[in-house]
Amino acid sequence: MTKSKKIRSAEAVKKIQSMFSCPYCSTSMTVVNLQSLVCQNRHTFDFAKQGYLNLLRASPNNQYNQKLFLARKEMIIEGQLFAELHKKISEIITNYFQRENHITMLDLGCGEGSHLEMIAKQMIQNVTGIGMDISKEGILQASKSYDDYTWIVGDLTHSPFSNHNLDVVLNILSPSNYLEFSRLLKSEGLLIKVIPRNLYLIELRQFFYNDEDTNTYDNQKTTKRFSEHFNHYETFTITYEKELKPESFSNLVEMTPLTWSVSETKIAQFLQDPPPKITVDFDVLVGYNH
């Protein structure tokens, strides 16, 4: 008899349950009856039938919906928009942990999970991968798409993980909490944070916004904050142009917050005559947790 996704997920989490701590009281947690994750003070979180765990203390308000996450998955998996970024991150991790056969990796702000999937599958090490996002819709899509990882609905300010158990924390185009990153990482662990540079999706910003401040993005403040918390770090710049199929532009428009305040008329104009290429421009900040 085939096991349900819920049972398979519970079995996977049971193997790594020491990595979890209660988001309410920070005590250790145990998988009980392959049904729930329960802390020492009996705070109880049930596995969903789709296999994910909801460890949020309260439901958030956000604009990230199913349509956005499906569009993002299409752009990442089918459109290969971030393929060179994924390759570089995989190389950084593989080379740093070349003496290790197995690593633990947490993607914080994972969305629908495609970044974690694309990075982990290119690595030579065996990866215990966990993805966490505050959006239940994103985690629901991740759990439907990728069975090899543990998916958590959770909040970075109350992250449900114990101290110093992770080899890698990924933080790709997502908010940061550097004290949490340091707490979660092992000694010699890696924080990999991806931030946009001033040419990222410049074609969209030039079309939808005429404001000069919007078209000129400066990430120096973000880099400075990173260096204040991780003084041992490197920066890798990834810049390239990507040709997209005409039908991919509707997914691109759907997945980016750049278009949230743009009128439907303006979006239709853009889709009617899209640019031949889209620019991808990132800094990859790699912090070493000494």
Q: How many CB atoms lie within 10 A of CB 57?
A: 12
Which among 132, 129, 121 has a CA at the least distance from the CA of 94? 121
Whole-angstrom Cα distance, residue 37 to residue 18?
11
Whole-angstrom Cα distance, residue 131 to residue 112?
9
- Give yes or no for a contact between 80 and 35, defined as CB atoms under 8 angstroms apart: no
Which among 89, 114, 129 has a CA at the least distance from the CA of 9? 129
End-to-end CA distance of the chain: 48
Binding annotation for Zn(2+): 39, 43
Binding annotation: 39, 43, 82, 112-113, 200
- Give yes or no for a contact between 57 and 23, defined as CB atoms under 8 angstroms apart: yes
227 secondary structure, DSSP code: H
173 secondary structure, DSSP code: S
Indicate the pairing of strand 44-46 with strand 36-39.
antiparallel
At 148, give phi and psi (nearest 5°).
Answer: -85, 0
Binding annotation for S-adenosyl-L-methionine: 82, 112-113, 200
Token pair 């750049």: residue: 258
Going by C-beta distance under 8 Å and a sequence separation of 6 or more, which residues neighbour residue 211?
none
Amino acid at 18: S
